[in-house]
Amino acid sequence: MFSNTMTLDIQFGDCDPAGIVYFPNYFRMGDNATAALISAALGMHKRAWLAAFDGAGIPMVDTGARFFKPNRFGDVIEIHSEIAELGRSSFAVRHVLARDGISTVEVNEKRVWTVRDQAGDIVSSPLPDRVRQALAQIKEA
C-alpha cells in the first residue's frame, strides 16, 4: 500500500532534560507524517483534502510505539510511513523512524475517517473511494 518518507531535524524543543526526544513528541511526529502521507497520496494539502471530501478529521483511536535507540537534538531522521491496513472507515499507519539507516522508533496508529453529521457532531464515515484508491496504491520508487 502507499508509503511516504520525510526527513526531520530534531529540535531542542523536542527533547527532555536528558537531551533525548521526549516520547510523546514521537506521536506528534507520527501525526504530521500521517498528514504528509495522505497529502502525498492525494497530491494536495491536508486542508484541501479535508475540504474536498467533507472530512472532519482523522482522529487516532489506537496507538503504540516501540523505542530502540534515542534520538537527540540536532539528529536528522527519516520517517518512513506506510499504510498497513485499510478498513471500511479506518486505516492503520506504521511509521519507522531511522537515523543513518538504523531504526530508532516505530509508531503505529489506527485512525478513523470522520465527517460532521446534520447535528454537527463528528462521526465515523466510510473512506471516500478516491481516498481509499490513493492509499491502496503502490508508490513507485
Please list the active-site residues: 16
Sheet bearing 60-67, strands edge to edge = 3-9, 76-86, 90-99, 102-112, 60-67
| Cell numbers for 50 | 479535508
- Residue 12's SS3 state is helix
What is d(CA 81, CA 97) in angstroms, rounded to the nearest whole number? 9
Contact 135/83 with Cβ under 8 angstroms? yes
**Closest to 95 measured CA to CA, from 50, 35, 21, 138:** 35
Contact 29/77 with Cβ under 8 angstroms? no
